[in-house]
A = this chain, B = another copy of it.
Amino acid sequence: MQQLVEELLTGNRRAAARLITLVENNDKQKNDLLKELFPHTGRSYVIGITGAPGAGKSSLVDQLLQQIRFEKLSVGVIAVDPTSPFSGGAILGDRIRMQDHALDQEIFIRSMGTRGSLGGLSRSTREAIQVLDAFGKDLVLIETVGVGQSEVDIVKTADTTVVVLTPAGGDTVQTLKAGIMEIADVFVINKADLPGMERTVTEVNMMLDMQGDKSWRPPVIPAVSIRGEGAAELWEALKKHRQYLETSGELDRVRRLRIRRELTEQVEYLVKQKVWEQIKETIDYDKLVEEIAGRKKDPYSSACELLENINFYR
Contacts and interface: CB of A to CB of B under 8 A. Distances in A.
A202 interface: no
Contacts of A290: 256
A35 B305 CA distance: 14
Contact of A279 (B150, B178, B267): B267
A83 interface: yes
A102 to B, nearest CB: 28
A206 interface: no
A1 interface: no
Interface residues of A, number: 52
A262 B256 CA distance: 33
User: Most B CB atoms within 10 A — which of A41, A42, A83, A289?
Assistant: A289
A288 interface: yes
A39 B272 contact: no
Task: Specify how many copies of this chain sit in the oligomer.
Answer: 2
A179 B81 CA distance: 13
A210 interface: no
Contacts of A35: 298, 300-301
Q: For chain A, what secondary structure do more than half of its interface residues adopt (helix, strand, loop), or is it mixed?
A: helix
B83 A299 contact: no
Given A83-B177, A259-B293, A39 B271 contact: no
Interface of A: 31, 34-35, 38-39, 41-42, 53, 83, 146, 148-150, 174, 177-178, 252, 255-256, 259-260, 262-263, 266-272, 274-275, 279, 285, 288-290, 292-293, 295, 298-304, 306-307, 311-313
Given A35-B301, A260-B285, A263-B302, 12 more contacts: A83-B177, A148-B148, A148-B178, A149-B150, A259-B293, A267-B275, A267-B279, A267-B307, A270-B303, A270-B304, A271-B307, A312-B312
